[in-house]
Amino acid sequence: MLTAFAVLTATPEPEPSHSLLIPELPDLLLGTIAFVLILVVMIWKGVPRINAALDARTDAIEGGIKRAEEAQAEAQAALEKYNKQLADARGEAGKIRDEARDDAKRIRAELVEQAQADAARIVANAQSQIEAERAAALVSLRGEVGSLAIDLASGVIGESLDDKKASSIVDRFLADLAKSDNSGTKAKAGK
């Protein structure tokens, strides 16, 4: 084993041709040129596109915020308009209710007035009808009382009275009777 170890140690090691940490000059130049080319292409083509995308995103965000603020302002205006319309509608409903109450009171007053007028007319008609019937009854009663009184007087006297004289006596008697009836009514009313 010793001989194998000696063989291994005795063979010269080849010298590394380049370092793993430090690249060789051609690799370094090619890498730098490729990096510069990629950097130029990125600055020339990529950066404007990235900036445009960022600007578009910024505009979209700011526009979204602005649109949200505008929508909120519109919603607030619509709410105020709705509240105003609601208040106007409530006021209008109150006015309509008040007008309906006033109309109901007016109609009720008209109906009461009309009923009172109808009642007064009916009472007046009834009184005039009663007066007419009373007058007709009085005329009929006069005629009957007069004829009865004449017949009675003729029977007591024993002679017949003429119609003119009998009619004047009956009229005088009824007039005296009416006067005594009126004075009795006035005396009762005075008590």
Average pLDDT, the chain: 82
The 10s digit of each residue's pLDDT in 40-82 is 999 999 899 999 999 999 998 988 888 889 999 999 999 999 9
Q: Residue 137: which pLDDT band, with cuts at 50, 70 and 90?
A: confident
CB atoms within 10 A of CB 68: 10
Q: Return the pLDDT at 26.
A: 87
d(CA 148, CA 140): 12
d(CA 6, CA 64): 80
